Amino acid sequence: MVNGDKEVQGLQLPYKYENSLLLYISSHNCEISLLLFVAIWETQNTQAKVQINLRCSFIGSFLMEKYELIKEKNKRGFFEGRSLITSKIVTLKQLVVHPVEGVPASLIKEISLLHELENPNVIRLLEVVNSKHQTTMVLVYERMEMDLKGFMCIYPTVMTSPWTRKVLLRQILNAVSFFHSYNLIHGKIKPENIFVDPDTKVLKVTDFIWPRSILNQDSGDPHEDSTYNYMAPEILIEQKQYTTALDVWSVGCVFAEMVTKTPLFPAKTEFHQLLKIFSIMGTPHEETWPGIDEMHPHSYIYSRSEPKDLRELVPGLEPAGIDLLNIEVSLYDDHETYFAKVFSLALMPNVNNMGIFL
């Protein structure tokens, strides 16, 4: 949607902060309010200027009165910033409102609800900043250290500890069950949406507010390869059955990835995603997944595979963890019991206050 990259030529930089990311607004079209920004990074040692084009539109000058941008946090549209009033580090996420029928109802409901949600493992929304032209807004969150994807890369040895994995998994499940207790389905549990503090191991899941409700109805992230990797098969097939079991599936995928460092079901398209899932969990048929023929009349196109042993695919996971994973990513299960089983298995108050399959 943003057309073309702009060269940094003859720019007058409005702000300059030593050793921090400088932002210059190269163009802004307030009608659709897709803003293209060019950021110039001054590295600490060389002062060399490296141009970073932020492909996703981000943050108007309106924000500059209250917050200063520090850096891009991850490719999911999260940025790190600093409050100019309190000097506190915050996390920023931009949303663009389509000027059609006002602010979308889903967004109004989600944000007003989010203000009331308080959970140690759910990221807290501090405020919402509107642009002067009231077409763009930025959600300001409490500080988030690094996402789980980055954490797994930077601290590979820490992740080999079953203790760390258990601590993190328990917090993810705590956040998910909290959302579910409000009848909310997160829908996008994946490592990029989970943040971890490397020192304290405190984990926070980001909220359920996605640009889908604003830009268009498309829920996918076109720029991201991993979009489908954490999606449950029923949503890949039908795209309308939103249940809490979807999140449990995603948690299972994240759990396996914490052990192996690679996605359990890597694939780039919807079709290949189902193929991948079936190749590991076995191609479903009426006996293993009652109702699948009606739900997916063309399921015969998938070559028949038998379920593989997760113990071989996720080496290094203790037997109780394999049991839990098996429930989380089972193709078909009665949703009520499915859910209850996962949480009772994972969250049982147990020895050492750890709770997870000890």
Partner 1 sequence: PPADDAVIDSLIASEPHHRPIHRSIHRQDSINWILTAHAHYGFKPATAILSVNYFDRFLSSASLPGNNIWAFQLLSVACLSLAAKMEELRIPSLVDLQVSEPRFVFESKTVQSMELLVLSNLHWRLRSVTPFDFLNYFISQLPVSCRPDNHDPHGR
Q: Is residue 111 involved in binding partner 1 (CB under 8 A)?
A: yes
Give the binding-site size for partner 1 (rule: CB under 8 A). 22
Q: Give least dist CB 149 to partner 1, A.
A: 29
Among 25, 113, 185, 237, interactor with partner 1 by CB under 8 A: 113
| CB closer to partner 1 out of 89 and 113 | 113
Q: Give least dist CB 142 to partner 1, A.
A: 16
Q: Is residue 116 involved in binding partner 1 (CB under 8 A)?
A: yes
Residues 132 to 161 in contact with partner 1, rule: CB under 8 A: 133-135, 137
| CB closer to partner 1 out of 49 and 109 | 109
CA dist., res. 106 & res. 85, Å (int): 31
Q: Give least dist CB 301 to partner 1, A.
A: 38
Residues 59 to 98 in contact with partner 1, rule: CB under 8 A: 97
Q: Give least dist CB 285 to partner 1, A.
A: 38
Q: Is residue 217 involved in binding partner 1 (CB under 8 A)?
A: no
Q: Is residue 100 involved in binding partner 1 (CB under 8 A)?
A: yes
The footprint of partner 1 (CB under 8 A) covers 97, 99-105, 108-109, 111-113, 115-116, 127-128, 130, 133-135, 137
